[in-house]
């Protein structure tokens, strides 16, 4: 019986740790790129024919991230076990039928469960949710066997720090761009290579199907099971059985205001190219105008290329130009492409020979007093400190080290209490 008890407890706690890590990881990677979560929720709303205010989408994204992360962290430490397990089950009871619908009808190609860090098909997402739901139900039934990592007197500290840390982490990434860029247009990416299909890449594969009729009955046959001549040919169709390799940047296309293709003029020109990305000019902060003008003047003085990329219509561009007096050249691109390239409106991307050298949010764009030296000698135009390894380590320590310290302090206090109880018992 003791062996069975230990085995059951071990299984329950293994399930608990898997559930906790999946939820915490899901919330954490979404918090790295909160705007990506907003855009994904907008895709969901559009797929279901709903018109949702951007503010509600943003609030919904923040709430989703907060719930996933806090539920995961609290279950990881064994806090409020039945409450959070019940919350996970309720969450999965909503998401599992939703992902089944997505798998069947495919209105959205990727669920966004793990942001851009891990891409899953809709069927993979549905399968994941089914497994997690079963795990959560089993763990809830055996919740009394879930081990506590900290004592009851310390659990509120874990909860509060989990909430505070994730609520501070999200605006940090909003202000400075995602600290880890999981998208194709990350620093160091070569856009030309990202648009190219390798020679040895898998190709699209198709299967030819024949629709035949006999005695008023129609059936579909392949080459391998083609029937005898008693069947009458009706039609033929080609069905894709393998999509082949899709370049990660295949959607990178730019046009000028006359509608002429301008992609390769940008990518093949030598030297540095400044791309200011403002996917929506109507929502672009005009307070950034002086900064953008300074960048444009700096590019002109140093003979660098400079373009404003936007998905706004020509009419909006003309209105913006008349209102602001901006004289830099404009190029148009797909809205989704621009949002994928950089999570800031406006944002700055620096290219050299089609390679992404740096990315800056509106808050971090170099200012006039920093635009003195050429790019090669200009510290403000080198890789932003936000993306450097040590900065990422500092952020990770700030997120997780206090949780570890709380566990260690709590364990030390529990050991002292245990020793005191033993000493008091021996004295009596």
With a CB cutoff of 8 Å and minimum separation 6, the contacts of 372 are 378
Cα distance between residue 65 and residue 61, in whole Å:
6
19 and 143 in a single domain? The answer is yes
Give residue-wise pLDDT tens across range 325-352.
888 899 999 999 999 999 998 999 999 9
Residue showing tokens 């992902």: 99
CB 173 within 8 A of CB 34: yes
**Range 250-260 average pLDDT:** 91
Tell me what pLDDT residue 136 has.
Answer: 93
Q: Which pLDDT does position 428 carry in this prediction?
A: 60
Question: Terminal CA-to-CA distance of the chain, rounded, Å?
Answer: 35
Are 73 and 20 a contacting pair, CB within 8 Å? yes
Please report the pLDDT score of residue 426 as a whole number.
62
Phi, psi of 409 (to 5 degrees): -65, -45
356 vs 296: CA distance, rounded Å: 18
pLDDT tens-digit map of 184-216: 999 999 999 999 888 777 777 777 888 888 888
**12 vs 239: CA distance, rounded Å:** 45
pLDDT-derived band at 322 (thresholds 50, 70, 90) equals confident
Which tens digit of pLDDT belongs to each residue from 386-427?
Answer: 788 888 888 888 888 988 888 888 877 766 766 666 666 666
Task: Tell me, yes or no, whether 138 and 221 share the same domain.
Answer: no
Contact 276, 307 (CB under 8 A): yes
User: Do 237 and 268 have their domain in common?
Assistant: no
pLDDT of residue 163: 94
pLDDT value at residue 220: 87
Shared domain for 50 and 150, answered yes or no, is yes
pLDDT for 78 equals 87
In a domain? residue 25: yes
Closest-CA residue to 300 (of 333, 329, 278, 330): 329
Residue 12 domain-assigned (yes or no)? yes
Among 99, 131, 100, smallest CA distance to 113 is for 99
pLDDT of residue 425: 61
The verdict on 103 and 31 lying in the same domain is yes
Contacts of 368-375 with C-beta under 8 Å, sequence gap 24+, read: 368/290, 368/291, 368/294, 371/294, 371/295, 371/297, 371/298, 374/302, 375/272, 375/302, 375/304, 375/350
Predicted confidence at residue 170, as pLDDT, reads 95
Residue 87 belongs to some domain of the structure:
yes
- Which domain, by its residues, includes 236? 205-242
Same domain as 269, residue 215:
no
Asked whether residue 347 is domain-assigned, the answer is yes
DSSP structural state of residue 108:
S
pLDDT at position 354 over 90: yes
pLDDT of residue 131: 94
Q: Which band of pLDDT confidence, cut at 50, 70 and 90, is reported for residue 226?
A: confident
Three-class SS state of 240: strand
- pLDDT interval class at 384 (50, 70, 90): confident
Q: State the average pLDDT over residues 275-295.
A: 90
pLDDT over 60 at 374, yes or no: yes
């Amino acid at each position: 019986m003791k062996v069975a008890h230990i085995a059951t407890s071990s299984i329950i706690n293994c399930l608990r740790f898997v559930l906790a890590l999946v939820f915490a990881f899901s919330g954490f990677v979404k918090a790295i790129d909160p705007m990506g979560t907003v855009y994904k929720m907008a895709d969901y709303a559009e797929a279901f024919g709903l018109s949702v205010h951007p503010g509600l989408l943003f609030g919904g994204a923040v709430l989703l991230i907060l719930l996933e992360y806090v539920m995961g962290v609290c279950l990881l430490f064994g806090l409020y076990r039945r409450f959070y397990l019940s919350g996970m089950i309720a969450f999965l009871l909503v998401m599992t039928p939703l992902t089944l619908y997505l798998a069947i009808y495919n209105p959205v190609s990727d669920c966004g469960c793990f942001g851009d860090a891990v891409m899953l098909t809709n069927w993979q997402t549905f399968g994941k949710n089914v497994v997690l739901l079963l795990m959560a139900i089993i763990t809830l039934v055996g919740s009394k066997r879930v081990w506590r990592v900290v004592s009851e007197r310390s659990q509120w500290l874990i909860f509060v720090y989990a909430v505070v840390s994730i609520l501070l982490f999200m605006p940090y990434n909003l202000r400075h761009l995602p600290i880890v860029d999981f998208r194709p247009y990350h620093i160091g990416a070569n856009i030309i290579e990202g648009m190219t299909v390798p020679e040895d890449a898998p190709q699209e594969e198709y299967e030819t199907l024949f629709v035949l009729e006999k005695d008023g009955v129609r059936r579909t046959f392949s080459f391998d099971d083609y029937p005898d001549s008693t069947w009458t040919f009706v039609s033929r169709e080609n069905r894709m059985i393998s999509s082949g390799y899709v370049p990660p940047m295949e959607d990178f296309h730019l046009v000028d205001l006359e509608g002429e293709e301008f992609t390769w003029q940008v990518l093949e020109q030598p030297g540095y190219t400044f791309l200011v990305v403002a996917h929506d000019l109507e929502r672009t902060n005009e307070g950034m105008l002086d900064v953008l003008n300074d960048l444009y003047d700096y590019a002109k003085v140093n003979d660098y290329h400079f373009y404003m990329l936007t998905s706004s219509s020509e009419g909006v561009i003309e209105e913006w130009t008349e209102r602001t007096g901006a004289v830099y050249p404009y190029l148009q691109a797909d809205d989704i492409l621009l949002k994928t390239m950089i999570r800031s409106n406006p944002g700055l991307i620096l290219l050299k020979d089609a390679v992404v050298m740096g990315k800056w949010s509106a808050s971090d764009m170099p200012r006039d007093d920093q635009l003195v030296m050429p790019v090669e000698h200009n510290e403000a135009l080198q890789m932003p400190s936000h993306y450097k390894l040590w900065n990422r380590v500092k952020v990770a320590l700030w997120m997780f080290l206090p949780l570890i310290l709380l566990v260690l302090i709590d364990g030390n206090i529990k050991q002292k209490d245990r020793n005191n109880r033993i000493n008091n018992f021996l004295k009596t």
